[in-house]
Amino acid sequence: MAEGPPKKPDQDPMFLPQEHVEIWRAFMAMRQDLAEKEALIKGQEETIRSAEGRLAEMEKQAGIYLVSNQPTREQRLIALLRQSLEDMRTAHRGARVIADSLREQYEKLGREYDFELNPPKPEEKE
């Protein structure tokens, strides 16, 4: 014998009042979007950490060329990489602000309609 309708609508929307079905669909789309943004942000963080390490190693290796008044090719490259890294950090901060705003909207909607708030974890790529 069936135990009755699920308690949470994200398990089965057919038990929702008709006027909430579209809201539920939007909520589930927000859940997916949020999971994708979080995965993107995690990837950005890994890329930034890796770039910081490579840049530090390049700066260390280029240190022997600091005797000259003219910047060497390596020093110019390092300056470009520093700027690129700062641009990545800026983009990352922007993505974090957007994801935080989406999470606030998602949680507010979930509380208002008593939807399950735990988004699925993004699938790990092997």
Domain map (residue ranges) of the chain: 17-113
In the structure, what pLDDT confidence band is assigned to residue 69 with cuts at 50, 70 and 90? low
**Residue 37: alpha-carbon gap to chain centroid:** 4
Nearest to 8 by CA among 111, 120, 125, 98: 111
pLDDT tens, residue by residue, 16-60:
777 788 888 888 899 999 999 999 999 999 999 999 999 888 888
pTM beyond cutoff 0.85: no
